Structure 1
Amino acid sequence: MCFRKRPGSAAAAQIYTGPDLSESPMSRYDRNQPTRNHRSNPCCFCWCCCCSCSWNEDRNRRRRLSRDTKLEIVPHCEVCSKPSSEEIRSWAGSFEKLMKSPAGRNVFREFLRTEYSEENMLFWLACEELKKEYCRPSVEEKARGIYEDYISILSPKEVSLDSRVREMINRRMQDPSPHTFDDAQLQIYTLMHRDSFPRFLNSGIYKSLLQNISRSSSES
């Protein structure tokens, strides 16, 4: 872990500047681990356009090859049950309901992936996991991992934060807690709500989902 002193004061506080690259040249994730076989472990999200569904692999393989993605490793979709038609329709009127639903987050993640901004959701989810930790070593480890993956300017998954929030995070990283990234998480949540959510509602992904539930309702 690296610290630097704030200039202009003899007793200036140390500021966290991220991991020491001379000691930790790689992220905490092992990028050399083999890719999982999605066909042998199908996602629970097969009712929609999840990237891990075997029937959708060819389309997504072509899409991955056709773009220069900045996400080297995409985690699996969250485990969830099939949402009701009422729940799916309710997402259109409430971003909060969408984000509280594991199925809703999975659909929204698929949309963010098409806009090359999935790191926003991944960061938000990582912050939620950090809040569940109470063991100090685990808190420090997860906080460092979040910093390296989403805050560091060296990371390909860096999220967009203003300088005030970044400075606050640097100070808090001297003594990480489950709420170290609360301000940053709120800023990214607001960004997704105001910027990405309106486009999601007009996207083919969400419209196809609505068409599917309407067709199912008419057939039944």
Structure 2
Amino acid sequence: MRASEQSASGAETDTRMRAGGEAERRTDNARVLLMGSELVEMGKRPPENDENTTGVQNTGPDAHMSGSVSTQTLGSFNAPSNACCFCWCCCCSCSWPQLTLEEVLAWGESFERLIKSAQGRENFQQFLKTEFSEENLNFWLVCESLKKETNKTTVEQTVKQIFEDYVSVLSPKEVSLDSRVREVIDRNMEEPSSCTFDEAQQQIYMLMQRDSYPRYMNSSMYAELIQSFEEPNET
């Protein structure tokens, strides 16, 4: 009887130990699952804003293009807050050389001299805004950027976006193109390339050269810019 009792007692002890071990393993598994759930939840939470942290926030298309060709497509884009509106053309004002009277006067020699100057484009853009025709220069600039793009997928996406922004009759920024050029664009859109808008770009260039450029040269804005260099420094 004693041997039987001892045997039964030993078996009961083994059963309790196995049950205890199983319970402990279940507890450990539950802890792992709980920790995993917490990590997943942490991953779902949006990052908290830290007022001491600085950085560039990705806000989609940049303000200058107003929901059109994105900064990433055009090559800079997310410009710092102190950058000029043409930063995607690599002509940020913070890196410009100091503007001189000689350069300002050179803008009057030809439209080409004006538009090849980063500061000239910036000043001309400000003038175009007063005439509500800044989309002409914007279109010319995005076409220039498109010509430098070599990635086929990026080219196709950019061509589509430029069309929607500046060629479509539904766009508030539609540029003035004649029917012949529009037909050329429609044909080119079947196989988009970096040259899709070449004729349209040339037509807008001629429009700015013929109409907007002479008015800018005769504007008070340009005259005041020249005068600012000619005024003697006050001591």
Whether these two folds match at TM > 0.5 is yes
Higher relative contact order (Cα pairs below 8 Å, separated by 6+ residues): 1
Q: Alpha-carbon deviation of 1:42?
A: 3.5
C-alpha offsets along residues 92-146 of structure 1, whole Å, 9 cap, x if unaligned?
A: 1111000101100000000000000000000000000100100100100110110
> In the superposition, relative to structure 1, how do residues 28 and 76 fare at CA in structure 2: closer, same or farther (>3 Å)?
closer
- One-letter identity of the residue aligned with 1:114: T
For this pair of structures, how many residues does the alignment match? 154
Structure 1 pair 157–200 and aligned structure 2 pair: CA distance change class (3 A): same
Unaligned runs of 5+ in 1: 1-26, 31-39, 45-74
Match of 2:170 among 154, 174, 177: 154
* Deviation at residue 219 of structure 1 after TM alignment: 2.9
- Work out which of the residue numbers 68, 77, 81 in structure 2 matches 1:41: 81
Report deviation, 1:180: 0.6
Change (3 A) 1:117 1:28: closer
What is the alpha-carbon distance in structure 1 between the residues aligned to residue 151 and residue 202 of structure 2? 24
Structure 2: runs of 5 or more not aligned = 1-66, 71-79
Q: What is the aligned partner in structure 2 of residue 8 from structure 1?
A: none
Deviations 1:58-97 (A, max 9, x none): xxxxxxxxxxxxxxxxx56651313222111110111100
Runs (4+) of structure 1 moved beyond 4 Å? Answer: 27-30, 75-78
1:114 matched residue in structure 2:
130
Q: Which residue of 2 aligns with 1:21?
A: none
Distance change (3 Å), C-alpha of 1:95 and 1:29: closer
The one-letter code matched in structure 2 to 1:160 is S
Structure with the bigger percentage of strand = 1
The 1:76–1:91 alpha-carbon spacing in structure 2 relative to 1, beyond 3 Å, is closer
Which one has the largest radius of gyration?
Answer: 2
Corresponding residue number in structure 2 for 1:201: 217
1:87-126 alignment runs, 5 A limit: 87-126=103-142
The amino acid across from 2:82 in the alignment is: P
Other structure's SS at 1:180 match: coil
Quick one: distance in 2 between partners of 1:122 and 1:194?
17
What is the deviation of 1:183?
0.3
Higher share in helix? 2
- The 1:124–1:28 alpha-carbon spacing in structure 2 relative to 1, beyond 3 Å, is closer
CA distance in 1, matches of 2:169, 2:140: 18
Closer/same/farther in 2, CA of residues 111 and 214 from structure 1, 3 Å limit = same
